[in-house]
Structure 1
Amino acid sequence: MRNFLMLALVGLLLFSCKPYQNTKIRKNQITYEDFRADQRLYPTDDGLIKYIDKGEGPVIVLLHGVPTSGWLYRKMIDPLAANGYRVIVPDMLGYGSSDSPEGFEIYNAKNHAKRLLELMQSLGIKTWSQAIHDAGGLWTWELMRQAPNKIEKLIVFNTIIYEEGFYPPIRMKPGGMAKTAMWAYRNGLTTNTLLKNLFEQGLKENTLNTLDVEGYKTPLLEGKTQAMYYFFSQTCNELPDYSDVFENVTIPVSIMWGIHDTMLQWPPQETRATDALNVKSEDIHFVDEKHFIQETKAEELVYKMIDFLN
């Protein structure tokens, strides 16, 4: 009887908490297998980084956050490339298709930024525009500290700027409990629960289907939790201060923010962030969505991005 109850509990965790609400597949919908087939690889000293490089023209980097990957931008890559841009979409180390080596400080902002700079140098790209989301903001602020003249224009999707407005869904203390949670994520015990909660908090309405979720779930089940462990147990508790970087921002900046986001809220930091980044009022756009605006507002974002970049 005890074994039966344990099996029933595991079954409940695995199958009753589906992270998607829709089973209908959209016409010409990209699969995660197809997305990965388009990725190239770049070997760093810490491990392999996978990335998309598509199109020709001015370069735009699309940078994900936690716990996503380049898959977040899958609906935006081809439209941007079709409009005359060379689109670079990396999976940062520890996420998506990239390696997830053992380690802790290799996942800090300094090392993420260093590896991204090395990738762009390997591609022969000297300057570029960059769109950032979530923790991708921290990695970008660090990149701008290390190499101030690389990014020519900046597009800020719901990203981490200041402690004000930063309300992560998970904060953990380093150690056994946090490591156990990571183990459960990568072994399928709480993977669905994590993603369901994430999408319920991050979307006004969870309209994702099985193919959409596949690109978020597969890396977790492949063991990509080392970088997440650093973020949830370190970054979320001791947010880096990049005020010195903001003081020297002279490039054009556009804000495109899901105004209903509860995890990264704009109003508490609006005045401070707008002043620090020198954002013009006409370059601030509020989107009728929560956190994952790329999932439901891709077409709108691409239109606004092209208008800003031009």
Structure 2
Amino acid sequence: MQKFFVLILTGILLFSCKPYENTKIRKNQITYEDFRADQRLFPTDDGLIKYVDQGKGPVIVLLHGVPTSGWLYRKMIKPLVDSGYRVIIPDMLGYGSSDSPDGFELYNAENHAKRLLELMASLGIEKWSHVMHDAGGLWTWELMRQAPDKIEKLIVLNTIIYEEGFYPPVRMKPGGMAKTAMWAYRNGVSTNTLLKSLFKQGLKENTLNSIDVEGYKTPLLEGKTKAMYYFFSQTCNELPDYSDVFENVTVPVSVIWGIHDTMLQWPPQQTRAANALNVKNEDIHIIDEKHFIQETKAEEISYKIMDFIRK
């Protein structure tokens, strides 16, 4: 009987662990339903990719990481579009609103990059400015390896570059335990716990409300964990080396980094990364935040991106 009550209490704690702290809804706050209504469809051989395409003018691609989606950039759409830019925000395969087909290597960097290049080709976009975050950096380095002439200007936001700065909150071995963890994430058993931990590590102060969190939680509850499984059980254990790509980067690069990030740290790699990517000192911007700088510093980041692109 005692074990039964322990199980019940554990279940209550897991399900009641809300991953947001704020209950106040902001004025004109976009809902996840509205965000999805603005997304378009792109069919690939591997599955459907959803993406936002708004505005007219020079193109800026905003690329998310793990375990987020294009929702991460929702606060940056308006300032960029209002300033005369065309904004493309994909949900990479396995994330957000995009399909999550069975497979393992389907979610490696090579295939993510290939599908993103196919999307841009389908839109008739030959060149663009490129913003990436978190694991989006790996997919970007691979894209630049496959097609080095597509990106005109590169903006690095708390991105995976070298092993020295990479401290993922989760590392798993492929197999049953990792698959069980993914099952728990998508079935509501530990979904809130995952997100609460993620925001605690990723924000100086968790100011998110229920609408904010909905856009992160819904894809998980819809079963979008196969790409996460690849990242946590493969990429986190065997980080790809893109040194050869860095040596051939000739486009202007800017770094905008939340300096208090414990998962992706700038100081351990700053000299090596800045030299490898040939980043000028004036194009390195240190932000007073942790990992998810798009959540609390969206407007500041947007204007720094535009200032850099206009130079």
TM-score of the two chains, using structure 1 as the length reference = 0.98
Equivalent residue, structure 1, for 2:146: 146
Deviation at 1:11?
2.0
Equivalent residue, structure 2, for 1:111: 111
State how 1:63-74 maps to structure 2 within 5 Å: 63-74=63-74
Deviation at 1:10?
1.6
SS of 1:164 mapped into structure 2: helix
Deviation at 1:7?
3.3
The amino acid that maps onto 2:307 is D
Equivalent residue, structure 1, for 2:234: 234
Equivalent residue, structure 1, for 2:10: 9
State how 1:119-198 maps to structure 2 within 5 Å: 119-198=119-198
Equivalent residue, structure 1, for 2:75: 75
Q: CA RMSD in A?
A: 0.8
Tell me, yes or no, if structure 1 residue 307 matches structure 2 residue 307. Answer: yes
The amino acid that maps onto 1:256 is I
Deviations 1:53-88 (A, max 9, x none): 000000000000000000000000111011010000
Equivalent residue, structure 1, for 2:33: 33
SS of 2:45 mapped into structure 1: coil
Task: Give the whole-Å Cα distance in 1 for the aligned partners of 2:226 and 2:140.
Answer: 20
SS of 2:52 mapped into structure 1: strand
Deviations 1:242-273 (A, max 9, x none): 00000001100000000000000001000100
Task: Give the whole-Å Cα distance in 1 for the aligned partners of 2:10 and 2:60.
Answer: 46
Number of aligned positions between the proteins:
309
The amino acid that maps onto 1:201 is Q
Percent identity of equivalent pairs: 82
Deviation at 1:212?
0.3
Deviation at 1:4?
5.1
Deviations 1:28-59 (A, max 9, x none): 00000000000001000000000000000000
Task: Give the whole-Å Cα distance in 2 for the aligned partners of 1:290 and 1:69.
Answer: 18
Task: Give the whole-Å Cα distance in 1 for the aligned partners of 2:174 and 2:4.
Answer: 32
Deviation at 1:113?
0.1
Equivalent residue, structure 2, for 1:18: 18
Task: Give the whole-Å Cα distance in 2 for the aligned partners of 1:49 and 1:148.
Answer: 23
Deviation at 1:8?
3.4
The amino acid that maps onto 1:262 is T
State how 1:238-277 maps to structure 2 within 5 Å: 238-277=238-277
Deviation at 1:144?
0.1
The amino acid that maps onto 2:12 is G
Task: Give the whole-Å Cα distance in 1 for the aligned partners of 2:135 and 2:178.
Answer: 19
Deviation at 1:5?
4.5
The amino acid that maps onto 2:64 is H
SS of 2:163 mapped into structure 1: coil
Task: Give the whole-Å Cα distance in 1 for the aligned partners of 2:243 and 2:45.
Answer: 30
State how 1:46-65 maps to structure 2 within 5 Å: 46-65=46-65
Task: Give the whole-Å Cα distance in 2 for the aligned partners of 1:6 and 1:156.
Answer: 44
Equivalent residue, structure 1, for 2:199: 199
Equivalent residue, structure 2, for 1:210: 210
Deviation at 1:6?
3.2
Task: Give the whole-Å Cα distance in 1 for the aligned partners of 2:28 and 2:51.
Answer: 22
Task: Give the whole-Å Cα distance in 2 for the aligned partners of 1:37 and 1:145.
Answer: 33
Deviations 1:94-130 (A, max 9, x none): 0000000010000000000000000000000000010
The amino acid that maps onto 1:103 is G
Task: Give the whole-Å Cα distance in 2 for the aligned partners of 1:3 and 1:48.
Answer: 44
Task: Give the whole-Å Cα distance in 1 for the aligned partners of 2:179 and 2:205.
Answer: 31
Equivalent residue, structure 1, for 2:89: 89
Task: Give the whole-Å Cα distance in 2 for the aligned partners of 1:293 and 1:5.
Answer: 38
Structure 2 unpaired stretches of 5+? none
Tell me, yes or no, if structure 1 residue 294 matches structure 2 residue 294. Answer: yes
